[in-house]
Amino acid sequence: MLENLEVLPPDPLLGLMAAFAQDPNPQKIDLGVGIYQDNTGQTPVMGAVLEAEARLLASEGSKRYLPPAGDPAFTSGMLALVLGEGAAGQFGERVRVVQTPGGCGALRIGAEVIARSRPGARVWVSDPTWPNHVPLLGGAGLQLQTYPYYDFAHHRLDFDAMFAALGEATAGDVVLLHGCCHNPSGADLSLQQWQVLTELCEQKGFTPMVDVAYQGLGQGLEADAAGWRWMAERVPEILIASSCSKNFGLYRERTGALLAVARDGRAAQAVHSQALSAARQIYSMPPSHGALAAGMILQDADLGDTWRHELAQMRERIASVRRGVAQSLGSDFQFIVREAGMFSFLGIRAEQVKRLREEFGIYMAESTRINLAGLNDGNLEYFCTAMNTVLNERH
């Protein structure tokens, strides 16, 4: 049987990472990998996480399974983090939370719930979006339709085109929206634009699904959440996939949650039961370590303060890098300051991307999407010098 399988081509980004690892250039820079790095080029374990883990190590007396829906401290903490401190009382029986293996797990469980409710439902995804959205949603049997999001020529969100396209969405459709800092372009919806989309959702009857992976890395935990919270308070139903990989630094622990606000308590219970059934079929029980640590941080005032302080430092470091790049590269790159989070599209030519890689050891996706957190005090000048070289010379 197994001899019938075909060898699949490697993921382009994984291939880029492999090429970077083999490059002997001592000044090489990896701007393709999508993880936070500090000013030393490391992806550290946050101090709040280390303290939570130390407490867990000292107190954990069993490795028995978590409840199917996850650790209660974690799920209640995520509800307050994503939808606000008063969310439990505000939404009451309309809201449910299920712990998942990362934000990807939340997206897939959400997709499975949608497919069970409406087999083959149409899901609108942005252009550009992350490549994993396609298999996570399409793999559940959902039909994908794209809507325009980013104007590459002018380096800005093309909201008019987005709004016009989503005007074709109908009741029974799902629209996947990006939370703060999440689109690979770094261009975010404003609160006013979230409000306009909320009105459109109410008129057309589609169901919004929000992918939230960078809360706290844009303007702050509360400001970043304002748009999807506005929407959740007004639409009949919404799904939110939330990840702790970035803002807690729990990448390898696969810690996330699916939040569902339904029309009423009966519908919420149905969503919850279907989500747990889908999880049972896919991965059976949720992993514990990351959720126990994050749950402790979200429930402990001192740990929470430490975490928020560290998150603010991460946010300011990324903003500082953006300012440094824009200042060094000049007027054509001022859009980098206007964008938020770790990512931006440089918009340079393919031959310039190749030259940066081959001559300078600077690696980025072919789309020119870069992770600005890969830049720091030790390599920012080198990167900007290389960029100016390839931009100003014919080669």
> 3-state class of 181 per DSSP?
coil
Catalytic residue among 228, 246, 300, 307: 246
Residue 11: CB partners within 8 Å, gap ≥ 6?
A: none
Nearest alpha-carbon partner for 248 in 197, 220, 290: 290
User: Mutual orientation of helices 221-232 and 191-204 as an angle, nearest 10°?
Assistant: 20
Residue 231: CB partners within 8 Å, gap ≥ 6?
A: 194, 197, 198, 201, 208, 210, 238
Place of tokens 């497919």: 115
E-strand ranges in 38-108 read 95-101
Helices H / strands E in the chain, number of each: 15, 13
Q: Are 229 and 84 in contact (CB under 8 A)?
A: yes
Nearest alpha-carbon partner for 362 in 391, 382, 347, 342: 382
Asked if 130 is an active-site residue, the reply is yes
> 3-state class of 117 per DSSP?
helix
Tokens of 242: 């939330």
Catalytic residue among 30, 211, 224, 300: 211
Asked if 246 is an active-site residue, the reply is yes
DSSP state for residue 344 in the 8-state scheme? E
Asked if 230 is an active-site residue, the reply is no
Q: Is the dihedral of CA 347, 194, 105, 108 positive or negative?
A: negative
Catalytic residue among 130, 194, 228, 307: 130
Tell me the C-alpha distance between 340 and 316, whole Å.
11
Catalytic residue list: 130, 211, 246
